[in-house]
Structure 1
Amino acid sequence: MARPTQGITTDGAHSTKNRVTRYRAVDISTGEELFIKHLGNQTINIGEFLAVVEAAQYILENDYYPRVIFTDSATAIAWFKQKRTASKKRNTALLKAEVFLKAFAVEIATIELHHWDNREWGEIPADFGEK
């Protein structure tokens, strides 16, 4: 598969030093940052998952096409598909995300979620560039 040119990419970042987790989404075709959020001290998996969920919300609220999201996080993909997390941390954002995925399951099913292949396509466009 060739490097995707359309859709939304998401990524999370966690700094143990600064104890801050954040995530963002970028439109592949325009390079525009669609949103960025700071979560406080969470985990990388929570950031990656919430980024995908918020991208799904963005697609539904803005009638965004194509309805495609890319993430390089296998955990975020698994949690999204299961509509629940395996995180030991419980917080309002996670609970709201799980409720959203279940409540809008029919609409969520119209959104494709794919793994971004960093080796094949280079770093995901939503990457924070801090590695």
Structure 2
Amino acid sequence: MGICSCRRKKDAPKVLKAAPANIGKPIKDAIAVDAAWNTSSGDMEYQGVYLQTGERIFLQGPFKDGTNNIGEFLAIVHGLAYLQKKGSDLPIYSDSRTAISWIKKKHANTKLALTPRNKPVFEMLQRAERWLVLNQYPNKILKWETEYWGENPADFGRK
């Protein structure tokens, strides 16, 4: 089984809804982040892309025994740190409500148990949470509206 961040019938055509006025269209001068998690191996990875060009700007993983929510959280923090280094105030899109809520709390509220295999994931989580506490950022974290805009451009395409 491939790396997958959600379950959907492969044969089902994706019909997009017309976006209401309060949602509109995505900002093209932005980055999108996403994570993928393999349901059979537990491997997790994440990436970020620049929406205007589709260029990948970072890719991390795979990491053993992670979760999709952790990957989504780490992807947002990675994007924030990346944009801070570039002196950029571009917004970041994520399709994960959970990860966005964790960013606001500056804490990944995971139930995942620490094991020797996922120790690097927990070390990254600690660094990410510390970064959020110690840094301020002007970037907006926005929800990618998949049902209106289609798949997140940072999606790994393995569903």
Task: Compare the two structures and name the one with the higher strand fraction.
Answer: 1
Alpha-carbon separation, structure 2, partners of 1:127 and 1:26: 9
Runs (4+) of structure 1 exceeding 3 A deviation are none
Contact 2:42 2:67 in 1 (8 A): no
**Whole-angstrom distance in 2 between the partners of 1:33 and 1:63:** 18
What is the CA deviation profile of residues 105-131 of structure 1, one whole-angstrom value per residue up to 9, with x for unaligned ones?
xx22x1100000001111010000011
Give the TM-score normalised by the residue count of structure 1.
Answer: 0.92
- % identical aligned pairs: 35
Which position in structure 2 is the counterpart of 1:14?
37
Q: 1:94 and 2:94 equivalent? A: no
Matched, 1:115 2:143: yes
Q: Which of 95, 101, 112 matches 1:78?
A: 101
Displacement of 1:67 in angstroms is 2.1
CA distance in 2, matches of 1:40, 1:34: 22
Cα distance in 2 for residues equivalent to 1:63 and 1:30: 19
Q: Partner residue of 1:62?
A: 86
Q: Is contact 1:22–1:40 with CA below 8 Å preserved after alignment?
A: no
Structure 1's unaligned 5+ residue stretches are none
Please report how far the alpha carbon of residue 4 of structure 1 lies from its aligned counterpart in structure 2 after TM superposition: 2.5
Distance 2:150 2:26 in 1: 9
Q: Matches of 1:79 and 1:3 in 2, distance apart?
A: 22
After TM superposition, give the deviation of residue 88 of structure 1 in Å.
2.5
| Equivalent in the alignment of 2:15 | none
Would you say how many aligned residue pairs link Structure 1 and Structure 2? 127
Greater percentage in helix? 1
